[in-house]
Structure 1
Amino acid sequence: MGSFPNVILILALGVLQAVEGSMIQLNDNGYDGIVIAINPNVPEDEKLIQKAKEKVAEASTFLFHATSRRAYFRNVSILIPMTWTSKPGYLTPTLESYEHVRFIHLTPNFVLDDNWLIYGPRGTEYWGVFDEYNFDQPCYITSLNTIEATRCSKDNTGVNRVLKCSIKSCAIRLCKINRQTGMYETKCQFIPEKSQNAKVSIMFMQSLDSVTEFCTAKTHNPDAPNLQNKMCDQRSMWEVIMDSEDFRNTSLRAGVNSPPSPTFSLLKAKEHVVCLVLDKSGSMSVNNRLSNLVEAAELYLIQIVEIGSWVGMVTFDSDVITQSNRSISGSEIVLLTDGEDNEISTRFEEVKQSGAVIHTIALGPDAARELEKLSLMTGGYRVTPKENMTDLIDAFSRITSRSGDLSQKAIQLESKSVMLNSKEWINGTVTVDSTVGNDTFFVITWTESVPRICHQDPKGKEYRNADFSINKLNSKAAHLRIPDTAEAGNWIYRLQNEHSLQTLTLTVTTRAKSPTVLPVIATVHVNQSTGHFPSPMIVHVQVSQGFLPVLGAKVTAIIETGHGSQETLALWDNGAGADTVKNDGIHSGYFRSYQENGRYSLKVLVQARNNTARLSMRSPQSCAMYVPGYVNHGEIVLNSPRPEVKDKEMEVKIEDFSRVTSGDSFIIPGVPSGPLPGKFPPAKITDLKAKSQADHILLSICFFPADHYKIRMSGNSMQLRDHFDKATQVNTSGLMPKEANFKETFEFKPETLKIQNGTKVYIAIQAVDNANLTSDISNIARARREYYPSLSSYTINVATIIVAVVGAAAIIHIF
């Protein structure tokens, strides 16, 4: 498996949209709350701090002009690891951490290099816009039957060539046309002119010196087959940005040509200090809440909290006993309660000023509604477990290391609760993969009497009741700590209930195998902390190892109301519905099965079985576009070739694994009582594809639940988008709805359109349910009858072609 990168610097710019609870806010044109976090594994280098300051300052100026003087970076914190030497002027961090942000990962070599700047195609992270290039479809055929590079805008000039490079030389030739598709061959690349007049677009090729702006409605290329057009209904980048929460009501900063310089704060993390503030009121005696709390809190102390932390435990009351007046700034508080408190809101300002991070555990349906606000305003986690032991343990497991050191992160492998009759067994396996195994615990709880325990490791060694330690404070729990590193493979467990009807639970936690091994982790995110009926919530789960996506896992979300109603939601990484990009390791799904007003808890199960898991070696989505070279005064000057990964090496098989993780709870208000009206339209189809076959058109669709479908077509994509109901309708009588996420093809013959060579047809689809609610119009697919366009008339002097290869001379062969 991969090892930790030797040096990584993280620019934690976060989601700049005004998401409730985000630490980053746009105020009076300035972004506050930006954090640059240096990974604890980075060797100490003072130059990194200075260079980071310089590059962020340059990026701030670039952002200011790119947004037409609407935004810049005002307050930036640099989070320095504990492993670095303390110096005067270093402050203690308060809410800044390695968690709760979307990351931009930069290597120190990048930061130290004067030739590179931070700004680039990060609008996806900021304002919900997408790349304007397409690695998989780098060119397309226009309405004039010419081949164009996928780009925005079309005013960016250049040539299309095929490069074949070895270590010391490169061969270059014209692109050939594939006679089956009418497109350029697969390895054809667009090489831009070094000197351009076009100022757009940052989300296409920001490396061009002339590019300083986003595409606008005037400069946008709506026909380019890129993710921006697919996901944003062919709207321009600037239109989407101006409609974002940040800029909807933000005016430009008049009278100035440059923004103020950013203010930097140097923050050095100190010892991790956490205090458990626990409710022991009378209501906690109901349903064994207090005894379950004791066991879960003990598990947190011995298994979850970061090793070397300072931990305190108190019970809360209306009276405060103060033994010291030391600051709690930068500390963490875990607050658990099951009751109402009408005075929480009166303490909000005091909480903000304290600098403490507050994680809240709302136990039961009667817990104070203001608890989540404490977490949102301080950057803490918020969880809503049921009253049973498993959910409480899951809740504490959510509150894990925030230091950025993955070797300290507690990883949950199993979390199971089963009610058994007398003499019944529960059997199963827990997979301990080779990326984890350090500090591994098996915890078993029961409600009446200790069960019969039979565990077996992958080598056949057995563990019985005598090998487990029973908690002296709580006689209804036992745990087994595996010494050193747990054996990799399938651990078999068998539990028998030797009492009358009772509930047994099993929880397994572990940590990374070593500081040099990257574990497979699952990270949960919901699109908002408070939903709005009837709009769906979107659940995302990222499965990754380091910065590489893990594919082939089965991901399931379990969502539960405060009163116990449960919904199981399958999440998909198929580029359809709620999922934006196929095979990027992010599994997504819409949740709309609202049962009641109030809190909803979220738990996620990730399983890879039967050798289905693969590690993707492809470039991550929204990375900067690789530019093979430039045309400079009629000569092609090539950059160093990008290392090629063979198709068979694009995905590497990895071993089976399992992960369990909890997400932040969320709140849904406005749910009507009684049967819910039909207010949830079908999901928008985003993966429609089309191709022409003789005089027919073949569609490929990933279905979502619906009663029937509307398909319409037009010879103009914009008319189809803006006037869908007036476009030509396709007979869909032969298209039968399938189960969700079922891939299907549908073939039809256009009845009113004659398909000839070069004919292009644009198609879109809507799903309609049995209440006649209609989905949004799908992405617009294009089918084209085979035609062989002429090559671009662009000419270039190829007598001299220069290749820039670092450390080696290069020879070019023209053929």
Structure 2
Amino acid sequence: MVNTLCKSSYRSDLKSTYKSCSSLKIVSSSAVEVIVTSPSGDVYDNTYEGYGVDLTFKVISVKFPFAEPGLWSYSVYNAHSTSHEIFTSISTYALDGVNPIIATSELSGSITDFANGQPLVAFAEVRQGLHPIIRANVIATIERPPDTNGVIYQPIELVLLDNGAGADVTRDDGIYSRYFTAFTGVGYYGIKININNDNGTAIILNDAVALPFSRTLSFVEPEELLKGNIPKIGNTTLLLPGMPVPKPEGEPAPQFTRGISGGSSRVPETPQNWQPTDDIIPPSKIVDLTVTSSSYDNGTATLEFSAPGDDLDNGNASYYIIRMSTSANEIRANYSSIPALNETEFIVGDIFSPGNFGDPERFVVMVDVPQNRSVVSYIFAMHAVDDFGNEGDMSNVVQATFAVHTAPTYNNTAPLTTTPPPLTTTPPPPPLTIEEVDGKSQLLPLWITLGAVVGAVVLILLAIILVKVISKDTKNSKSVSPVTRKQHDIEQGSAYNNSAYSIS
């Protein structure tokens, strides 16, 4: 820079830092001036007590014991007429008891065998302690060597994704990845990663152990499903086709920025007669194919997945090939020999119009469901093809199960409209009443009414019999005068006084 002002910025994390150190190393012997501005607008220049200059190593450092959270900016001013190259290093430190937000990065290998089709993959992991941070902005900048003719190529930027498609195995696990396919020739490919939460979408997951395995849906034999045998890993039930993927739970991440180096990878050779403009890389493998619904009555199955790219996970493919079988073993062993479904068998979706990489795709396919079977299953797999005829690998295998659903039966018998004839010994019972229960007419239980009537008849008959017995006893009894009764008592007493009954 010559007689110019160079500006840049960095962010101090909200509630996660207590000290920030900014160090600018000057390669040239000429001096420069540094001005730092805090988020609240305070300006720090060479009069600030934390401003230091090391003339021996040509380093200017500005240190803040308690860094204010937010976006800091700094300016470097060169007053000389010659240009100078500068390097900037920024360090922040976490509060006691608060885990810092950490970012790490790497490439798939120190050597990439591009001549034999090996891809280069860039990875970055973002976490706070053991808790993954998802939905952050992760951008990889890859430096490329010149080609065989000495043509210089500009660095290329890739947005690393955590979407469970392409190079990314598991969605929302805090590991971001992307294939790199823009090779320019033999040489070293270096990577640096910039991570931020400028749009405020990043989430810190509550429990890091909630994702012990890939969220890619698993294949399970239909017979096992009908038995209710859903496999588990520990206490976690595996996700099956049609089961909703649980939403990640966590708390919003603070505003933050991170910059790291991911090292480099060397390409020792390229394919024979290859040129940087050649397309020899196929679309990526589809790893998240799922069956979201199936209908026995309609004979349809719904397939959903994320669109692959043209060159692995870049761009969009030319068309899809989807194959179906009744046997999982057959589709795995003889995938290429199974006839592909044609476009007329899809009532939703166009196999000749794939979306851009990562776009959600949905296809509804018609299948032949035998009416003489109550349960039948079909197995699906697929791959993508680009416009140069390069074919991607076979996707994960999924199954669609079609079963007859027996509708529940209801008793809709009409209520009785007549009442039993009245008994001669009792007044006729009241007519059966109809009550409203939950908005529906229902007849009172018949046995309750008949029991009450029979009980009343029995009580009346018992009362009549008792009255008749009492009346009969009254008619058969004789009237005795007081004198006669007294005479009788005396005679009865003499009999008891007979000496034959005496006891000596």
TM-score (norm 2): 0.60
1:519 equivalent among 100, 105, 109: 100
Separation of aligned partners in 1, 2:46 and 2:166 = 48
Structure 2 Cα separation of the partners of residues 681 and 577 of structure 1: 12
Equivalent AA in structure 1 for residue 401 of structure 2 = R
Q: Quick check: 2:36–2:45 contact (8 Å CA) kept in 1?
A: yes
Distance 1:693 1:729 in 2: 20
Give the direction of change, closer, same or farther, for the CA distance of 1:786–1:452 in structure 2 (3 Å limit). farther
1:461 aligns with 2:60: no
Equivalent residue letter for 2:130: F
Q: 2:251 aligned with 1:652, yes or no?
A: yes
Whichever residue aligns with residue 331 of structure 2, its letter is L
* 1:488 maps to 2:77: no
Alpha-carbon distance change, 508 to 758 in structure 1, aligned in 2, over 3 angstroms: farther
Cα pair distance change 1:473/1:487, threshold 3 Å: same
* Structure 1 gaps, min length 5: 1-419, 624-640, 790-815
The secondary structure found in structure 1 opposite 2:254 is: coil
Residue 464 of structure 1 aligns to which amino acid in structure 2? D
- Determine the C-alpha separation between the residues in 2 that align with 1:771 and 1:503: 47
1:541 aligns with 2:124: yes
> Of 320, 324, 329, which aligns to 1:713?
324
Partner amino acid, structure 2, of 1:600: Y
Conserved 8 A contact 1:536-1:590: yes
Instruction: Summarize the alignment of residues 289-438 of structure 1 with structure 2, pairs less than 5 Å apart.
Output: 426=7, 428-438=9-19
Does residue 531 (structure 1) correspond to residue 112 (structure 2)? The answer is yes
Structure 1 residue 740 corresponds to structure 2 residue 357: yes
Alignment correspondent of 1:607: 196
Q: Which amino acid aligns with 1:703?
A: A
* 1:703 matched to 2:307: yes
Name the CA shift for 1:786/1:657 in 2 (closer, same or farther; >3 Å): farther
Partner Cα separation in structure 2 for residue 689 and residue 649 of structure 1 = 19
Deviations 1:149-190 (A, max 9, x none): xxxxxxxxxxxxxxxxxxxxxxxxxxxxxxxxxxxxxxxxxx
**CA 1:573–1:649 in structure 2 vs 1: closer, same or farther (change >3 Å)?**
closer
Distance change (3 Å), C-alpha of 1:583 and 1:714: same
1:622 and 2:212 correspond: yes
The answer as to whether partners of 2:162 and 2:173 remain within 8 angstroms in 1 is: yes
Distance in 1, Cα, partners of 2:405 & 2:40: 63
Secondary structure of the equivalent of 2:340?
A: strand
Provide the TM-score with structure 1 as the length reference: 0.39
Once the 2 structures are TM-superposed, how far is the Cα of residue 759 of structure 1 from its aligned partner? Answer: 3.6
Q: Is the 8 A contact 2:34 2:46 kept in 1?
A: yes
Question: RMSD of aligned C-alpha atoms?
Answer: 3.4
Alpha-carbon deviation of 1:583? 1.0
Q: Contact between 2:196 and 2:258, CA under 8 Å: does it hold in 1? A: yes
Cα–Cα, structure 1 residues 594 and 498, in superposed 2: closer, same or farther, change >3 Å? same
1:516 is displaced (CA, Å) by: 2.7
Distance 1:693 1:745 in 2: 13
Confirm or deny: 8 A CA contact 1:512 1:518 kept in the other structure: no
1:446·1:502 contact (CA, 8 Å) conserved in 2? no
What residue number does 2:377 align with? 760
Structure 1 residue 774: Cα displacement: 0.6
Residues 42-191 of structure 1 aligned to structure 2 (within 5 Å): none
Closer, same or farther: CA 447–699 of 1 in aligned 2, 3 Å: farther
Q: Indicate the SS of the match to 1:730.
A: coil
The question of 1:551 aligning with 2:134 is answered yes
**Separation in structure 1 between the aligned mates of residue 81 and residue 333 of structure 2, nearest angstrom:** 66
Aligned residue for 1:771, secondary structure, equals coil
What secondary structure is seen at the aligned counterpart in 1 of 2:104?
strand
- Confirm or deny that 1:576 pairs with 2:168: no
Q: Does 1:780 align with 2:397?
A: yes
**CA, structure 1 residues 712+425, in 2 after alignment: closer, same or farther (shift >3 Å)?**
same
Q: Residue 722 of structure 1 aligns with which residue?
A: 333
After TM superposition, list the pairs within 5 Å mapping 1:588-603 onto structure 2.
588-603=177-192
Instruction: Tell me the amino acid that sits aligned with residue 730 of structure 1.
Output: L
Distance 2:78 2:301 in 1: 61
Q: 2:275 aligns with which of 675, 697, 704?
A: 675
1:691/1:782 contact within 8 Å kept? no
| Aligned pairs (5 A) from 1:221-236 | none
Seen in structure 2, the aligned counterparts of structure 1 residues 718 and 610 have a Cα distance that, compared at 3 Å, is: same
CA shift digits 1:77-96 (9 cap, x unpaired): xxxxxxxxxxxxxxxxxxxx
Alpha-carbon distance, 1:502 to partner: 4.8
> For the structure 1 residues 451 and 730, does the alpha-carbon distance in structure 2 shift closer, same or farther, using more than 3 Å as the test?
farther
Q: Which residue type is aligned with residue 461 of structure 1?
A: D
Q: Answer whether contact 1:684 1:778 (CA < 8 A) is retained.
A: yes
User: Are 1:666 and 2:262 counterparts?
Assistant: no
Shift, 1:678, TM fit: 3.2
Higher deviation after alignment, 496-505 or 573-582:
496-505
Q: Look up the equivalent residue of 2:267 and give its one-letter code.
A: I
Q: Tell me what 1:385 maps to.
A: none
Partners of 1:697 and 1:500 lie apart in 2 by: 71
In structure 2, distance between residues paired with 1:724 and 1:588: 28
- Distance (Å, rounded) in 2 between the aligned partners of 1:757 and 1:657: 57
Alignment of 1:7-22 (within 5 A): none
**Shift of residue 682 of structure 1?**
1.4
Tell whether the 8 Å contact from 2:10 to 2:73 is kept in structure 1 after alignment.
Answer: yes
Does structure 2 conserve the Cα–Cα contact (< 8 Å) formed by 1:421 and 1:502? yes
Whole-Å separation in 1 of the counterparts to 2:321 and 2:370: 21
Matched to 1:479, the amino acid is S
Q: Counterpart amino acid of 2:140?
A: A
The Cα shift of 1:525 comes to 2.9
Contact 2:11 2:255 in 1 (8 A): no
Whole-Å separation in 1 of the counterparts to 2:166 and 2:404: 33
Q: Give the Cα separation in 2 of the matches to 1:572 and 1:787.
A: 41
* Alignment length (residue pairs): 346
Shift of 1:659: 0.9
Q: Output the CA distance in 2 between the equivalents of 1:461 and 1:552.
A: 32
Q: Is the 8 A contact 1:710 1:765 kept in 2?
A: yes
Q: How many Å separate the matches in 2 of 1:479 and 1:568?
A: 30
Q: Distance in 2 between matches of 1:471 and 1:757?
A: 83
Q: C-alpha offsets along residues 594-623 of structure 1, whole Å, 9 cap, x if unaligned?
A: 222232222111111232121112325438
Letter in 2 for 1:518: N
Instruction: Flag the 1:500–1:712 CA change in 2: closer, same or farther, 3 A.
Output: farther
Amino acid at match of 1:734: D
The Cα shift of 1:499 comes to 6.3
Contact 2:34 2:75 in 1 (8 A): yes
Give unpaired runs (5+ residues) of structure 2.
147-151, 214-234, 237-245, 310-316, 344-348, 407-504
- Asked if 2 retains the 8 angstrom alpha-carbon contact of 1:690 and 1:698, the reply is yes
Post-superposition shift, 1:553?
A: 0.8
Give the Cα separation in 2 of the matches to 1:526 and 1:545. 22
**Counterpart-to-counterpart distance in 1, 2:370 and 2:6:** 67
Cα distance in 2, alignment partners of residues 455 and 757 from structure 1: 74
570-579 or 715-724: which moved more? 715-724
What's 1:34 paired with? none
